[in-house]
């Protein structure tokens, strides 16, 4: 299939951010005595910040609203500090894929449930900001993934037919959102392997972005 545009997720797809989020939150949880662990983190993989925070308020309600809010705020700050210090690696194949797309004049956008400030910070820090036509972030939509809104908006900005647009995703919620938007999606799993059920909703599963150019030719 010939694709004329590509929509990139960001966390766990362009950047190896997922472990940074987890480690930053774990440090703060340990300091504050919150019973937080990696299983809890993985439970909310690919979920919007707002939804994660609402869940933390429910899960840790016994600590009181103010303490939970401090846990959320401090974890967020700790994460941003790590990002600013360059603690995030680009995923393998990002630069090669972007060069391939530019060479073939295939437009590309970032559609991430993250906050715009975080997206810009990571893209600029890694000198990728100028390489994307536009960014669609949490601020641009009412509903986060798995709702299709973010991908429908990104597709609208690209102005390409859905079937000629390819979404690249690493998480379950991203795949569900792409499927609901009826836009082809290829999964590049990050921390969690996909279920057979999820694989059926994709146009394919690859082990890294290095494999994407072959699908675009």
Domain extents in the chain: 5-16+89-216, 18-84
Mean pLDDT along residues 63-83: 96
Q: What is the DSSP letter of 193?
A: P
Question: How large is the C-alpha radius of gyration of the chain?
Answer: 17
Q: Where are the beta strands (DSSP E) in the chain?
A: 5-8, 108-111, 134-136, 165-169, 185-187, 204-205
**Would you say residue 126 has pLDDT above 70?**
yes
| Half-sphere CA count of 138, side-chain side, radius 13 A | 16
pLDDT at 1: 64
Q: What is the pLDDT of residues 29-51, one digit of tens each?
A: 999 999 999 999 999 988 888 89
| Contact between 103 and 213 (Cβ < 8 Å) | no
Mean pLDDT along residues 115-127: 95
Edge-to-edge strands, sheet with 108-111: 134-136, 108-111, 5-8, 165-169, 185-187, 204-205
Token pair listed for 172 = 């379950």
pLDDT at 171: 93
Q: What is the pLDDT of residues 200-211, one digit of tens each?
A: 999 999 999 999
Q: How far apart are CA 201 and CA 173, in angstroms?
A: 12
Q: How far apart are CA 78 and CA 72, in angstroms?
A: 10
Q: Please state the pTM of the whole predicted model.
A: 0.93
pLDDT at 217: 79
**Would you say residue 10 has pLDDT above 90?**
yes
> Is 166 in a helix, a strand, or coil?
strand
Is the domain 5-16+89-216 a CATH 3.65.10.10 member? no
At 2, the pLDDT band (50, 70, 90 cuts) reads confident
């Amino acid at each position: 299939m010939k694709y004329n545009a590509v929509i990139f997720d960001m966390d766990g797809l362009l950047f190896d951010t997922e472990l940074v989020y987890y480690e930053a939150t774990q440090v703060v949880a340990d300091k504050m005595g919150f019973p937080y662990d990696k299983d809890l983190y993985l439970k909310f993989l690919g979920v919007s910040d707002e939804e994660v925070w609402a869940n933390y308020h429910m899960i840790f309600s016994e600590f009181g609203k103010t303490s939970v809010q401090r846990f959320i705020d401090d974890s967020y700050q700790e994460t941003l500090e790590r990002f600013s210090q360059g603690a995030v690696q680009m995923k393998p194949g990002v630069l090669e894929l972007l060069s391939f797309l530019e060479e073939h004049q295939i437009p590309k956008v970032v559609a991430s449930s993250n906050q715009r400030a975080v997206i810009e910070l990571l893209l600029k820090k890694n000198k990728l900001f100028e390489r994307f036509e536009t960014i669609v972030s949490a601020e641009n939509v009412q509903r986060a993934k798995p709702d299709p809104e973010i991908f429908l908006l990104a597709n609208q900005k690209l102005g390409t037919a859905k079937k000629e647009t390819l979404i690249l995703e690493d998480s379950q919620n991203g795949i569900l959102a792409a499927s609901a938007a009826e836009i082809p999606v290829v999964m590049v799993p990050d921390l969690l392997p996909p279920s057979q059920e999820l694989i059926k909703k994709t146009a394919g599963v690859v082990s890294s972005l290095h494999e994407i150019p072959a699908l675009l030719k």
